Amino acid sequence: MVALDFNKLGGLVTAVAQDFRTGEVLMVAFMNREAWEATLATGRATYYSRSRKRLWVKGATSGHIQIVKEILIDCDDDAIVLKIEQIGGGACHTGHRSCFHKRCQNGSVQVVGQPIFDPKEVYKK
């Protein structure tokens, strides 16, 4: 098993999910050791939900799983980049393609683009 440094962030590492085709950053989340091992074992991005305090297989509810194409580890082993294929097109629970859909410019924030799915439909299951 490839070792990461889970000590610097209280048992977690930071994980950046990036579209493997376009390079767009889709979301940032965290993994504990169990989530990291599950990601390696399954090839599906698996995070640790800090709010729910449990393993979070991305897409388990929505069907919008993330297929891991490549994993990059940073210099000090406390952060990773997952290059992923985002099933369903959108990573964000708001229906947007990316969680990073708000642009900060000249002291104000504007939403960029439109949702590509209806969260009410996707999460009603």
- Interface with a copy of itself (CB under 8 A): 1-2, 8, 14, 16, 18, 22-25, 27-28, 40, 50, 70-76, 79-81, 92-94, 96, 98-105, 107-109, 112
Q: What 3-state DSSP class applies to 69? A: strand
Looking at beta carbons only, is 8 or 54 nearer to a copy of itself?
8
Query: Rounded distance, CA 122 to CA 125, Å?
Result: 7
Looking at beta carbons only, is 25 or 67 nearer to a copy of itself?
25
Taking only Cα atoms into account, the Rg of the chain, rounded to an integer number of angstroms, comes to: 15
Q: Rounded to the nearest whole angstrom, what is the least distance from the CB of residue 124 to a copy of itself in the complex?
A: 19
Looking at beta carbons only, is 14 or 122 nearer to a copy of itself?
14
Angle ∠(57,121,114) on CA atoms, nearest 5: 90
